[in-house]
A and B are shown apart, each in its own frame.
Chain A
Amino acid sequence: RSRILVSIGESFGTSDKFQKINQMVSSTDWSLKRRLEGDSTPKPLKRL
Chain B
Amino acid sequence: RYQELQREVSELSEAEDKLDELISKCNLQLRLLTEDSNNKKLGYVRCQDLRNTVDPPDQIVMVIRAPPETQMTVSEPSQGYQISLKSTNGPIDVFLCPED
Q: Interface with A: B15-23, B49-57, B66-74, which one?
A: B66-74
Question: How far apart are B58's CB and chain A's nearest CB, in angstroms?
Answer: 13
**CB–CB A28/B69 < 8 A:** no
Tell me the complex Cα distance, A7–B86, Å: 10
* Contact, CB under 8 Å: B79 / A37: yes
A37: chain B residues within 8 A (beta carbon): 78-80
What 0/1 pattern do residues 4 to 43 of A give for CB contact below 8 A with B?
1111111110000000010011001000010011000000
For residue A40, give the distance in angstroms from its CB to the closest CB of chain B.
Answer: 13
Complex contacts, A36 vs chain B, CB 8 Å = 78-79
Known: A1-B77, A9-B67. A48 touches B72 (CB 8 A): no
Q: Which residues of B contact A11 (CB under 8 A)?
A: 34, 43
Residues of chain A having any CB pair with chain B under 8 Å: 1-12, 21, 24-25, 28, 33, 36-37, 47-48
Residues of B at the A interface (CB closer than 8 Å) are 30, 34, 43, 62, 64, 66-81, 85, 87, 89, 94-96
14 pairs of residues in contact across A and B, judged by CB atoms under 8 Å: A1-B75, A1-B76, A3-B73, A4-B74, A5-B71, A5-B73, A6-B72, A8-B70, A9-B87, A9-B89, A25-B81, A33-B79, A36-B79, A48-B96
